[in-house]
Amino acid sequence: MLFALSPEQNELATTVRELLARRSGSEAVRAAAATGPGYDRGLWRILCEQIGAAGLAIPEEYGGHGFSLLETHVVLEQLGAALTPSPLLGSGVLAAQAVLRSGNPAACERLLPAIADGTAVAALAWADAAGRWRTDGCDVRAAGQEQRTLSGASTLVLNGADADVLLVVAETGGGRLGLFEVDPAHPGVRRIETPAMDTTLRLDRIEFYAVPAVLLAPDIADALAALHDVAAVAVTALQVGAAQRGLDMTVAYSKERVQFGRPIGSFQAVKHRLADLLVEVETARSVSWAAAWAAARNEPDLPRQASLAKAWCSEALNKVAAETVQLHGGIAITWEHDAQLLFKRAHAASQLFGQPHQHRRRLSRLFGLSGLSDRSGLSGLEQAGRRTPVAS
């Protein structure tokens, strides 16, 4: 069995890579991260209009291109390699999939076409004050029956400050979570930028003060469990791309840096370390692609694949980033060098949608090894795994 990208998917990767080589070099990445929205709007428009990046996993009847999350994964990996700031994760994956999984065709017809063509950026407000994307509760409450209003706050909202469409997970009573839409321009919505270690990720805290809301789905907990897995898998694409970038940077530097009269890459000890990094990158890519395949087809073992990929890819990128800094020496810790951007991306991405130890704990339970994990303080991540059926 050949497990690899199809010719069409390889062509998609090449097209995105060539575009980013022209439009998203080191200086462009830094300039985009420093702008108001935190990304290059012109580049985002090209990605959406010429490549269809935001609509790849959106069905054609809702204005998308009718492909799958695997094609979106291919684009995210290239964005990760270039460290390009982009709303694709927050809008094209997290928010778009939330609407699709709401079971509300009218909302899909109304919201998804603009998300698919990139004319609207959508954000999903979900995480609680502790930064957990839970399926058993949140910090936003819905009140009223005929006219719903939301009060509370969500944290770590991807591209929340720039969102044209704002979706909110809120408690509706009786232990249920609902999905709502609110007007981001309403005076009761307060959007506060949260400074992040990784300047190429734009995260925001959004506060709601009795804001009128439209109910899209009254009970979305089960859909959120699957959405958490989809989002975790999407993050691994960014991690694999960044890991490849770190390996490429370090190999190139080892050929240029001369010590004791010869390139440092000619020393056996350095060769061994670079070979270890290659193994980290290739194994991470394999588990990431496998999880993306499961997510694209909504396979029963998606919870296992997602947790395995997120734990593995997080630690692989952390190792690659650390070795990139080590093998570059003092230059790697300067602001001007891209190694510091890679290092920050590694540590920030490992926190998104579950840390490695949380996913390993979840895996131990999914594989029937719950006695090896600490069962105290069951997290929202583990609740997500409990709600999702797993093939035996």
Mean of the pLDDT values across residues 336-343? 94
**The domain spanning residue 17 has which CATH number?**
1.10.540.10
Residue 376: per-residue pLDDT? 31
pLDDT over 60 at 387, yes or no:
no
Q: What CATH number is given to the structural domain containing 356?
A: 1.20.140.10
Closest C-alpha among 80, 100, 83 to residue 167: 100
Query: Is residue 152, in this structure, part of any structural domain at all?
Result: yes
Q: According to the model, what pLDDT value does residue 174 have?
A: 85
Residue 392 belongs to some domain of the structure:
no
Q: Name which residue leads in pLDDT, 331 or 231.
A: 231
Task: Label residue 370 by pLDDT band (50, 70, 90).
Answer: low
Q: 78 and 164 in one domain? A: no
Q: Do 207 and 230 fall within a single domain?
A: no
Residue 314 has pLDDT above 80, yes or no: yes
* 165 touches 122 (CB < 8 A): yes
Residue position matching structure tokens 């979706």 = 167
pLDDT for residue 64 is more than 50: yes
**Looking at this protein, which amino acid is placed at residue 351?**
Q
Judge whether 204 and 193 are in contact, CB under 8 Å. Answer: yes
d(Cα 115, Cα 146) in Å, to the nearest integer?
A: 28
Does 323 lie in the same domain as 378?
yes
Residue 79: enclosing H or E segment and its boundaries?
helix 69-82
| Residue where a domain stops, chosen among 101, 117, 133 | 117
Residue 265 lies in a domain: yes
Q: Does residue 384 surpass a pLDDT of 60? A: no
Distance CA 87, CA 277 (A): 29
Q: What is the band of 381 on the pLDDT scale with cuts at 50, 70, 90?
A: low
DSSP 127: B
Q: What is the pLDDT of residue 359?
A: 96
Asked whether residue 335 falls in the same domain as residue 382, the answer is: yes
Coil vs helix vs strand at 158: strand
**Residue range(s) defining the domain that contains residue 13:** 7-117
* Closest to 184 in 3D by CA, of 66, 91, 56, 305: 91
Give the confidence band of 368 by pLDDT, cuts at 50, 70, 90: confident
Mean pLDDT calculated for residue range 304-333: 95
Torsion angle, CA of 60/63/69/72, rounded to 10 degrees? 130
Q: What is the CATH number of the domain that holds 191?
A: 2.40.110.10
Angstrom distance (rounded) from CA 299 to CA 68 = 13
Which are the contacts of 335, defined by CB distance < 8 A and separation ≥ 6?
Answer: none
* Tally of domains in the chain: 3
* Pair (209, 262) in one structural domain: no
Residue 373 has pLDDT above 50, yes or no: no
Same domain membership, residue 34 and residue 138:
no
Q: Which helix (H) or strand (E) holds 31?
A: helix 26-33
Per-residue confidence band for 374, with pLDDT thresholds at 50, 70 and 90 = very low
Q: Where residue 2 falls among pLDDT bands split at 50, 70, 90?
A: low
Average pLDDT, the chain: 92
Cβ atoms of 233 and 73 closer than 8 Å: yes
Phi/psi of residue 147, nearest 5 degrees: -110, 110
The predicted model scores a pTM of: 0.92
pLDDT at position 371 is 54
Residues constituting the chain: 392
C-alpha angle with apex 99: 97 to 102, nearest 5 degrees? 105
Least confident of 142-146, 217-221, 284-288, 357-361: 142-146
The one-letter amino acid code at 258 reads V
Do 126 and 64 share a domain, yes or no? no
The verdict on 199 and 100 lying in the same domain is no
The number of helix segments (H) and strand segments (E) in the chain equals 12, 9
- pLDDT, residue 118, reads 95
Domain-ending residue, one of 65, 97, 117: 117
Q: What would the mean pLDDT of 368-374 be, rounded to a whole number?
A: 60
Residue 181 maps to a domain:
yes
pLDDT at residue 276 above 90?
A: yes
| Predicted confidence (pLDDT) at residue 98 exceeds the cutoff of 80 | yes
Which residue's structure tokens are 């920030």? 348
> Is a pLDDT exceeding 80 seen at residue 259?
yes
- 17-29: per-residue pLDDT in tens? 999 999 999 999 9
Domain boundary among 117, 134, 150: 117
Question: Tell me, what's the pLDDT at 391?
Answer: 32
Residue 49 in domain: yes
Same domain, 253 and 321: yes
- Asked if the structure places residue 1 within a domain, the reply is no
Q: Exposed/middle/buried for 274, CB within 10 Å: 0-12, 13-18, 19+?
A: middle
Q: Are residues 202 and 133 in the same domain?
A: yes
Average pLDDT over residues 115-124: 97
pLDDT tens digits, 177-235: 999 999 999 999 999 999 888 999 999 999 999 999 999 999 999 999 999 999 999 99
Cα separation, 132 vs 154, in Å, equals: 10
Mean pLDDT of 77-85: 98
- Beta carbons of 71 and 12 less than 8 angstroms apart: yes
CA torsion through residues 208, 35, 158, 127, sign: negative
DSSP-based three-state secondary structure for 182: strand
Is it the case that residue 157 has pLDDT exceeding 70? yes
Closest C-alpha to 129, from 191, 193, 205, 221: 205
Q: CB-hemisphere CA count at 13 Å for 27?
A: 1
Of the chain, the percentage scoring pLDDT greater than 70 comes to 94
pLDDT above 60 for 89: yes
Q: Residue 377: its pLDDT value, please?
A: 32
**Which one-letter amino acid corresponds to residue 305?**
Q
76 occurs within a structural domain: yes
Q: Give the whole-angstrom CA distance, residue 186 versus residue 317.
A: 40
Structure token digits, residue 114 = 């603009």
Average pLDDT value for residue range 14-42: 95
In this structure, the answer to whether residues 214 and 329 fall within a common structural domain is no
Indicate if 51 and 141 belong to the same structural domain.
Answer: no
Q: Does residue 296 form part of some domain?
A: yes
